[in-house]
Structure 1
């Protein structure tokens, strides 16, 4: 041991040391690794940020790496709960990956540069060749099988202690070895990848800003279409849009600015030629949702499964436009005229039960249809029968009945 110390002293006396540790120890470390920067590093490296203690430990270790002082002297060192703090520090050694180590080195260089220290390495140590030929006490880090160490520490609950026992060395030797040779991170689960930002990082690699702009702005693809194309979710792509400062389309108020669809053309293509909205949207260079908005703007009914044909729907719209104003809210949808006719017929009976029996209808169906008309017209049409009092029309019901009679007369003429 004495020979090793003499060799080290001789080396330091005869060589310039590239780091001025006296100057470094006078620096203000209170701004080292701000919280926002730590979160950003975690997102970029896929590291779990922890609950606060882990961040403090990383900051303390970074302080030690830059200043050469013990971690206990770092700002924010938790002396109150020192035991759990040290236990978490032991686990933190395993969490450090090559990617995280590289980011922390960059933070250290930026910190030194901010204090006008740009001519020194982050760390330095004398060459280990000074110890050649010496039989020194303690573990030899060079004899630790690093790949085997990495396999040992990843799946364990107490990885550092387990690895030390398995390799026949000390806990401190394992920590030093992991500090010099961080273990690669294991493949993350899907939930872990989302939580640590690895999905966003992969999306950033696969969907660069130029690609995003081309798909979203130039080709007018929707986020859903881009999600199907790229394999990333809509929420991930939304995050990329904010990151790339690409303004997202705002919906119905925005789609008109990206091309015009004439009503006559839409009716000809969609109604008469039976082309799909997706086909028409592709032709116009917009999303299917935007084409559907144009159909709504032009009052062109969309085809639906099991719904009325286009000709029927268009006739219903035309009939509603010519009907008395009071009836128009109830003339939307399939079967509107039939519902109104049934209400008019049922109003002549003393009760809805008698009306259903006389008209050959299921009572629940008749009640449901009249309830729907009342909702659409904004008020009750009938005063339901009670005991010996027969069913009667409300003032609104009488107005509606007169309007229905007028509509029926116009249809027959």
Structure 2
């Protein structure tokens, strides 16, 4: 209070802490035994509206009240809603009209009240009771009241004029019709029954949280965000209670009961923002956003449940109405995205980042995505691919397609581009097969989380290579690359190698284009087979020559500030919880294992890696195995294995009488290798046939039956007779046996049964099947199929092209003469007769593998050797 002056009222009434302006003026008028309207006239405010003054005081009103009452300006402003204007209430223009606030549609034209507070402070009405966020009295643990229990109206704070003044300021001042005239209600509001709230209960805790984080800091951005969360989630909770009372969780029912009622119905379902509804909604929203509460996830999921529809199939977007949640703030939206992760497609999970701890609404433009594409090669970097691959997988083929799919999918997170558009931007066609290759070996959750982290890291760092420019310059294979063939020829001569023929130049250009692009030039899932040998064992001087030629090509296009190749530094991923790749092995140890005679499989087994992980690791560290000496015969050869072991070879050649060509087919190599093995084992070679011996040893009737009646080919009969094709053709012409017409379909080629020497009687079906060329390969493939969901899934997992797998099964079933598998059942299962055949094949192959341990010798030109490497053992 200021000092007394001539204009000051002789009688003073001090405002209490937190009291509203109209309550203070009403008490002042009551102290002077008058009405508030008359008191305002006496103060010099004859036409002023106290209802508007309690919202905000004008400068004239403030100066007059300060001068007449002696109350300071700051204290007068504290008794109005001006401090909350623009945040918790909206007061417009000179008229001081109240508009709907941003949260909880409580306009503040009336006041809630606590009867215990009115009784304890002499009827002083608090200014914060006019806020929509005030619903409980923490001091007295009561739910605030809205109306008078007698008249059912909102009790006014002011008595007004022209009516009889009430003797008690705590009484209800509402006008009612009684005996044909208006009169005051007069109900003692201090005695109004209120709902008692449990101490430490959820409702009181939520009011305390609102007081601390919304009302006390209402100007801060954090308070606005918190208010948006509570009000939006609270309103949705009220709608769900009214629309779906049958699915209301028990915790919500307990809160409704604690607030003095049963389930909301009727008008309450329309979100009437009285103290009870606000208390229920805010409390449920506070629980849903409190990570310490044990049921916060369940309550949040129930609040997010749409009131008019259930969850459906996989969706491309988290919700059609995601923009409606904007007022709830980014934290709630992120939780909605995270909660909808299981309901989204792979593309949507990547776009919104729902598989990560920080999902977000897409905000990037197409231009931003193209900038990211310029930072990304057409195939994912090998170091990042190692982080994505499973720790240990028995089959990981199609790595090239896997890396292409990752590079394409990295354009999806946070932007408008889809996976197909991303593939076109990256120059990666055949996206469907690439994606199948990725999903066959990597878990979808791991893909979504890891690739999203990769894109966020990439967006925040700079990359020294413009891969978009590289693709524009070098992706077209018709574009000629600069390659100094003379320098390469001189280098090969100095190294003592003849790898300067046209096929080697083609491969060299292929590798050069790969260096420049950071990806394979060809868009398929598989790199050519020769690239694996080239990258595993290439002389360091050849690699240096390739780097030099790559620099020449870049300089020809005026690119001098970019390295040829680049890998993201490891510290970029230090703050991301990703599986550690197997890159901790020292480089020197790996280099020591890459000897001239080591194979990729042996080195990978020693290091505990797969072959593909070893190749990626060598690509990261620019390693290559030591090249073998080029002087023929001056270095020790590895010992023969499998069918070419001396004892096994002697049995096949001498005791069983097989020809070199037949042994080569069993061993998966060429006849020349078999001949060399016979010489090294000191096994004498059988002499060549004498002139006319073949004609004397072959029966013309037998030849006519085999060729003409059975339809066998000359090559097949020659293979059985261990004779050249031309000799058999001469016999056909000499004995007048007519040749096959054009388009003749021959039966499968014959070969000696590989099971003949096991001493196990063969069934007629197995006897017929095993004498066909390729029978072992087909049987081993068939044994791997049972248990897979489909043949397509089996092909993806085994790394066999679907056409090849289906062709093997068709040939096997055609030779058997019956269906081995029931192709209409899932998972794949054999028929009864097929199961008996597979059981027999299992026994025979186990005995054959135990006896001979068939492992193909090093023979790069033999496709059968590759098949043995893939299907060398059957569990």
TM-score (norm: length of structure 1): 0.37
Question: Which entry has the higher C-alpha Rg, 1 or 2?
Answer: 2
TM-score (norm: length of structure 2): 0.19
> Of the two structures, which has the highest relative contact order with CA contacts closer than 8 Å and spacing of 6 or more?
1
